[in-house]
A and B are shown apart, each in its own frame.
Chain A
Amino acid sequence: MISQPAQDDRGADVADGPSGTGSRGTRILGLVVLAGIALGAYLALVSSPPDVNMGDSVRLIYLHVPVVTVAYLACGLVTVASVMYLWKKSAWWDVTAAASAEIGLVFTCLTLVTGAIWGKPTWGTFWVWDPRLTATAMLALLLFGYQAVRHLPGDPTSRARRSAIVGLLVLPNVFLDNRAVTWWRSLHQGTTILNTLQPKIHDQMAFALVFNIFVGLLLAAWLMIHRWRLAWLEQQVEVAELDEAIAERRAEGAAPGTPAPGTPTPAATPTPATPTVADPTPATPTPASPTPASTSARTEVQP
Chain B
Amino acid sequence: MSDWGFVWLGWGISAAVLIAYACWIILRGRAISRRVAPQDRRWL
Contacts and interface: CB of A to CB of B under 8 A. Distances in A.
A106 interface: yes
Contact of A20 (B4, B17, B30): B30
A237 to B, nearest CB: 5
Contact of A63 (B10, B37, B39): B10
A45 B12 CA distance: 12
Interface string A80-123: 00000000000000000000000000100110011001101100
Interface residues of B, number: 33
B10 A17 contact: no
A57 B41 contact: no
Given A233-B32, A233-B41, A219 B18 contact: yes
A303 interface: no
Instruction: Assign chain A's interface to a size class.
Output: 35 or more
B42 to A, nearest CB: 5
B21 to A, nearest CB: 6
Nearest to B34: A5
Interface string B12-30: 0110011001100110111
Interface of B: 1-4, 6-7, 9-11, 13-14, 17-18, 21-22, 25-26, 28-30, 32-44
23 contacts: A2-B35, A5-B34, A15-B34, A17-B41, A18-B42, A20-B26, A20-B29, A21-B33, A22-B26, A23-B44, A41-B11, A59-B7, A60-B7, A60-B11, A106-B21, A110-B18, A117-B9, A121-B3, A227-B25, A230-B32, A233-B29, A233-B41, A236-B41
